[in-house]
Structure formats: structure tokens, C-alpha cells
């Protein structure tokens, strides 16, 4: 009783497991050994690379690329034109704004929110997050910022400026503490 709606123009690799009630649009590429839960919507141009797991109720808009060996928890969404490198964990309820890039081996805690618009509603672009970072629960990452490699962002932090590599930032607004 899968009741999936999978386009005949989607490319699906070997050993892919797809749950029920999913919509997979045309020009979606799902590589080998991927697992997709239930009630997911993968829009045109989405790429899911090898050995990645997508849980339930995920929406990935056009041109979102999820790297190899990633874990995408339930209710994660992307606005499109998002790049997630290899070995990234995205925990539940995370929102990836248009243009976000996440480096390899980064861990994003639950309910992290990114933004790509300034206060005038002009699209600036999403945050660029380096490799091996840890983004704490309920952190907000403003538009156009760059977070260097090996950065820790504390829970509930509001990041509105670039973050230097190998540093820890916490607070509202986020400030470097180490």
C-alpha cells in the first residue's frame, strides 16, 4: 500500500527503499542505497546521493542536493538551491533557506532556522556553513553570513555576522566566547 507518486522521469538507483505517500517529481536523482520515509516531497532537480537516509514529512524544493551518507530527520525542509555536503546530519524541523550551503561532517540540531531575505524582503542568499560544525538547537542563522570550519553555535543563538573558524559563538546576538 505504498501509494507513491513517482515521475517516470525520476532516476532511481539500486537498493533504494521508498516508504509510502511520497511525491517524487521529474528530474529527481536518487542514487544507490538511499532510504526515504513516508510523506516526503522531492521537487524537480533534487539530488539525493548514496547511502543517505530521509525520514518522514520532508520537503526538498528544486535544486536541493543532499550529499552521501547524510541523515535528514523528519520535517526538514529546504527552499531550493541548497547544497548539503557529505556526512551531514540535519535534525527535525530544520529549515534551509534558498542558497544555504552546509559543509561536510556538520551536525545541525533540531529546529535550526536559516533566512535568505533582508528586512526589506530582498533576497541576499542563505548562510554558508563550513565543515565539521555544530549548530545548536533553535539557532537562527541570518542571510548572507559565513560560518567558518570547526565552529560551534550555541543553542538559541541568533547569528547575524560571519563566524571565524575554530571558534564558539553563543547568545542573542551571537558573540564569540572562545
CA-CA distance, 96 to 177, in Å (whole number)? 26
Q: Of 20, 47, 72, which residue sits at a domain end?
A: 72
Q: What percent of the chain has pLDDT over 90?
A: 93
Give yes or no: residues 20 and 83 share one domain.
no
Q: Are residues 4 and 62 in the same domain?
A: yes
Query: Span 145-165, mean pLDDT?
Result: 97
Do 89 and 68 belong together in one domain?
A: no
Report d(CA 167, CA 61) in Å as an integer.
32
Strands 95-96 and 134-135: unpaired
| Residue 54 and residue 36 in contact, taking contact as beta carbons nearer than 8 Å | yes
- Domain boundary pick from 44, 72, 100: 72
In the structure, what pLDDT confidence band is assigned to residue 128 with cuts at 50, 70 and 90?
Answer: very high
Largest CA distance in the chain: 53
What is the percentage of the chain residues whose pLDDT exceeds 70? 99
Distance in angstroms (rounded) separating the CA atoms of residues 42 and 59 = 6
pLDDT of residue 125: 87
31 contacts 14 by C-beta, under 8 angstroms = no
Q: Note whether 96 and 33 are same-domain residues.
A: no
Arithmetic mean of pLDDT over the chain: 96
Q: Report DSSP state, residue 123.
A: B
Domain check: are 67 and 123 in the same one?
Answer: no
CATH number at residue 120: 2.160.10.10
Distant-in-sequence, close-in-space partners of 171: CB < 8 Å, separation ≥ 6: 154, 157, 158
134 in the same domain as 47: no
Q: Are residues 93 and 159 located together in one domain of the fold? A: yes
**End-to-end Cα spacing for the chain:** 53
- For 27, left (φ over 0), alpha (ψ -120 to 50), or beta? left
Residues 100 and 39 occupy one common structural domain: no
| Structure confidence at residue 120 (pLDDT) | 83
Residue 149 has pLDDT above 70, yes or no: yes
Residue 117 confidence (pLDDT): 83
For residue 22, pLDDT over 60 is answered with yes
Residue 167's domain spans which residues? 75-178
Give the strand order in the sheet containing 71-72. Answer: 17-18, 35-36, 53-54, 71-72, 89-90, 107-108, 134-135, 152-153, 168-170, 175-176
| Residue where one domain finishes, among candidates 72, 88, 122 | 72
- Is residue 130 within 8 A of residue 150, CB to CB? The reply is yes
Total domains present in the chain: 2
Same domain? 100 vs 149: yes
* Same domain membership, residue 99 and residue 58: no
Q: Are residues 6 and 32 in the same domain?
A: yes
- pLDDT at 178 > cutoff 90: no
**Domain check: are 177 and 112 in the same one?**
yes
The pLDDT value given to residue 1 = 56
pLDDT in tens, 26-85: 999 999 999 999 999 999 999 999 999 999 999 999 999 999 999 999 999 999 999 999
Amino acid at each position: 500500500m505504498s501509494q507513491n507518486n513517482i515521475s517516470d522521469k525520476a532516476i532511481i538507483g539500486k537498493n533504494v527503499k521508498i516508504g509510502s505517500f511520497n511525491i517524487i517529481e521529474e528530474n529527481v536523482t536518487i542514487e544507490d542505497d538511499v532510504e526515504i520515509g513516508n510523506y516526503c516531497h522531492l521537487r524537480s532537480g533534487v539530488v539525493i546521493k548514496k547511502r543517505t537516509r530521509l525520514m518522514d514529512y520532508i520537503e526538498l524544493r528544486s535544486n536541493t542536493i543532499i550529499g552521501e551518507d547524510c541523515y535528514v530527520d523528519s520535517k526538514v525542509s529546504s527552499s531550493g538551491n541548497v547544497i548539503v555536503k557529505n556526512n551531514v546530519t540535519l535534525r527535525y524541523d530544520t529549515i534551509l533557506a534558498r542558497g544555504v550551503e552546509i559543509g561536510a561532517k556538520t551536525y545541525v540540531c533540531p529546529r535550526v532556522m536559516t533566512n535568505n531575505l533582508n528586512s526589506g524582503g530582498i533576497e541576499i542568499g542563505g548562510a554558508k556553513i563550513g565543515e565539521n560544525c555544530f549548530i545548536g538547537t533553535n539557532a537562527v542563522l541570518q542571510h548572507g553570513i559565513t560560518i567558518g570550519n570547526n565552529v560551534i553555535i550555541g543553542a538559541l543563538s541568533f547569528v547575524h555576522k560571519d563566524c571565524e573558524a575554530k571558534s564558539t559563538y553563543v547568545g542573542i546576538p551571537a558573540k564569540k566566547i572562545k
